[in-house]
Chain A
Amino acid sequence: MEEATARMTQIFIMGKAYDVPVGITIMDAMEYAGYRFIRGAGCRSGFCGACGTVYRKEGEYRLEFALACQEMVEEGMHLTQLPFTPAPRADYDLHALDANENVLLQYYPAIARCVSCNTCTKACPQDIEVMDYVQAALRGDLQQVTELSFDCIQCGLCSMRCPADIKHYHLAQMGRRLYALTESPVPAHLTERVRELKAGAHDAALDELVSMDLDGLKARYAAREIEKVSEGSE
């Protein structure tokens, strides 16, 4: 029987060379090389922000930033994981604080140190205009902070790179929360949904599940509708 062999490529993980199959992600390559992630790996789909990665391509001087579960390995890539950023997050009670135009500056005063170097933006694996939202935060523009930072997955790489020690991802989260609370229109469908839930729209269905035995639950689970294709799509 002919043996199928994967084409291999050499990469460097924390300085040590490994041969890994081509066409796999950094995360898969590290696992192939023997690393086991008990932290620093989450959804493996580019959404949770748990697997921040720093790498450099052969012959380049720049460090690049990505999510290990999304970026493919390349020949001669040097890499390591930066899965967590120990940046402090401000304590606040959204409903109790005075949401004036300087509130972000008050809780994250380091934004006043921004020199507009744009290093944060260059570090963002989500291609967010990070510096621009820090600038918006500086002038209390919650709407712009929200809109510009909306795709943030809190990987923290921006804050890892910032020469002014700004906690970008935390302040953006605070900005979005404040914006939702104070300025953004309340979506009608959400209000309606909350009303339905409070009125007990699903109480009967939940009660039914709670009363089922294990086999019944298993059968229901096996028969569940996995992905509903809406009519007219295809």
Chain B
Amino acid sequence: MNGVAYFPGCSLKDTARTFEASAAYVMETLGLPLVELERWNCCGTVFSLTDDDLMHHIASVRNLIRTREAGADTLVALCSMCYNTLHRVAERINGDDEARTKINEFMDREVDYDGSVSIAHLLQVLRDEITWDRVSEAVVRPLDDLTVAGYYGCTLVRPRSAAIDDPERPTALADAAESVGATPISFPFQTECCGTYQVVDRRELSLERSYRVLRSARAAGADVIATACPLCQFNLEQASKELPVEQNENPPAVVYFTELLAVALGWEPTEASESLQGVLERRGVPVEGGA
């Protein structure tokens, strides 16, 4: 395969289209294009922790089969939630012949899953396969003077077995920001939960958690918060819209990390989220053309 087998997930096809578009631009530019899986289905969204609940792993397993059908043995996810679920299912099923047999027999009209697919997050591909140095070399519009708070949330770094980085002191997002000339900002809430699905029926709880993240990043001087999770993005952005008025002057823009990379590699900033466009303007990043 010329490129990497890519799992979009549902959000990247509706509310998080900027995430997909920017990542596609980055990977195309770096010579390792994202090749979308055929017939992929929802990852299952949440990894079932019940020991004998194999039914809720089937959604992910089907995607692992699609990966084999595409001739690949690694599947790359962008959404950190999808990454987490797929990764934990692969980990749960790959080494467990009995569970795999049960699932294969249940699925019936499906090629058996052979337990050979591993899951990677795009950050890992950029860091380990492409390397940040090569990303730096490809920069045509350095994001000088832009301060970036990398927000990892939960699913990129927990549990430890699924962590793409040091779960306590991750640096992948900071390294990504640095590779395109931006200034990474460290802040104490970078691996705190945003409130996740609680936003549906306990909105206040979720908003409160997101405020804390947002305030902390803002106090640390961040122009933007970079995330890899559509749900974190949604929650933080909601919180930033509802911050009390007196504190609400230029709250950090909550963007996908790939938007920053893409703009630095020559993507038209007009393709990026409006909030990022606003920050780039304020920071004087040249919008016209590249270098």
Contacts and interface: CB of A to CB of B under 8 A. Distances in A.
A141 B59 contact: no
A126 to B, nearest CB: 16
B10 A138 contact: yes
Interface residues of B, number: 20
Interface string B106-124: 1111100000000000000
B140 interface: no
A138 B39 contact: no
* Contact-size category for A: 10 to 19
B62 interface: yes
- In this complex, which of B14, B41, B107, B110 has the most chain A Cβ atoms within 10 angstroms of its Cβ? B41
B110 A132 contact: no
Nearest to B108: A122
Nearest to B61: A116
Contact of B14 (A102, A122, A132): A102
- In this complex, which of A114, A116, A138 has the most chain B Cβ atoms within 10 angstroms of its Cβ? A116
A102 B16 CA distance: 12
Nearest to A140: B14
Contact of A115 (B13, B40, B55): B55
B15 interface: yes
Contact of A138 (B42, B55, B58, B62): B42
Nearest to B8: A139
B14 A114 contact: no
B13 A139 contact: yes
A117 B55 contact: yes
Contacts of A122: 108-109
B44 A116 contact: yes
A117 B61 CA distance: 11
Given A102-B14, A139-B14, A140-B13, A115 B39 contact: no
Contacts of A117: 55, 58, 106
Given A139-B14, A140-B13, A141-B13, A116 B41 contact: yes
A131 interface: yes
Nearest to A121: B109
A131 B59 CA distance: 11
Contacts of A101: 13-15
A118 B42 contact: no
Given A131-B41, A139-B10, 5 more contacts: A115-B58, A117-B55, A117-B106, A132-B41, A135-B42
Closest 7 CB pairs of A and B: A101-B14, A116-B59, A139-B10, A139-B13, A135-B41, A140-B14, A116-B41
11 contacts: A115-B44, A115-B55, A115-B58, A116-B58, A116-B62, A117-B106, A135-B42, A139-B42, A140-B13, A140-B14, A141-B13
